[in-house]
Amino acid sequence: MRGMKAFGIAAGALLLASCGGGGGGSGGSVVSPLPGSQAQGLYQGTNNYGYALTSVILENGNFYNITSGGGQALTVDFGNVAAVNYLLTGTSSEYTVTTNALLTAGILVGQYLPQGAMTATIEYNVTNIFLAQYTSFSSNYLTSYTTPATLAALAGTYAAPYMYGQPTTTFAINASGAITGTSPNCAISGSATPRASGMNVYDVTLTLTGANCIPAGVGTATGVAFMDTPNGVNTLYVVTFNSAGTAGFVWLAPKQ
């Protein structure tokens, strides 16, 4: 989901009309950089290639941008951002679901309105002006972020192929947050817990067991999960990576 361009990212052309409120303080005051907390939230939009984008920026500045098409996750950009005076800056890596491959050493710049619109560009291979790869996106804040996560809301069965043409992957999540399921050639076990932030995000641990699991090489992975309703369908998004950061389980599936 990337393109090619000469080196150099501009923060974009989103004009911010005078924004009173939100964080307090006078219009000309300097805000100390915070680890993404000013921009935290769930967001939904599209990237410059027309793929659907669903994002979460956590209270600690960690972020996950999931691109999807046809109901399957395609890539996820993830890293950490700082937010100051409506500007975002940070570092990023990109994981491609279909190839189970990781691209690292990216930079992110963008603009945001607290609980409003966000635009950003992520660029990789920044040391080579001829091979710089980039993705840009625009999205809007989802008010569902501030609905506290509960295990009662999460409990249920979720099912969808992990990738195109593969058998269905299933999750069953019980009222205690225990996860059991199957993926191609795999048994899945794990747990989900409402994140301590009190927002609509869950901390997740998964273990994939099987000699020929798809995706391969994951073992035990940790990350986050959250719910969104694209096209009015309750959908679970899961983003987890192993401790080495070399393989992940990134999946989205409607609630059955």
| All domains in the chain, ordered by first residue | 3-26+34-145 (2.40.128), 147-254 (2.40.128.20)
Question: How many Cα atoms sit within 13 Å of 2 on the Cβ side?
Answer: 20
Residue 142 corresponds to which tokens in the numbers above? 């989802």
Q: Report the b/e string of 107-143 with b at 16+ CB within 10 A.
A: bbbbbbbbbeebbbbbbbbbeeeeebbbbbbbbebbe
pTM of the model: 0.84
Contact predicate 164/72, CB 8 Å: yes
Q: Taking the CB of residue 71, how many other CB atoms lie within 10 A of it?
A: 16
CA–CA separation, 102 and 93 (whole Å): 7
- Backbone dihedral region for residue 231 (phi beyond 0: left; psi -120 to 50: alpha; all else: beta): left
Element (H, E) at 151: helix 151-154
pLDDT by position in tens, the chain (length 256)? 554 332 233 333 333 332 333 333 333 334 344 566 789 999 999 999 999 999 999 999 999 999 999 889 999 999 999 998 899 999 999 999 988 888 777 899 999 999 999 999 998 875 666 666 788 999 999 999 999 999 999 999 999 999 988 999 999 999 999 999 999 899 999 999 999 999 999 999 999 999 889 899 999 999 999 998 887 889 999 999 999 888 999 999 999 9
Helices and strands, counts by H and E, the chain: 1, 17
- In 3D, which of 42, 39, 43, 30 has the Cα closest to residue 61? 39
Q: Chain centroid to CA 201: how far? A: 11
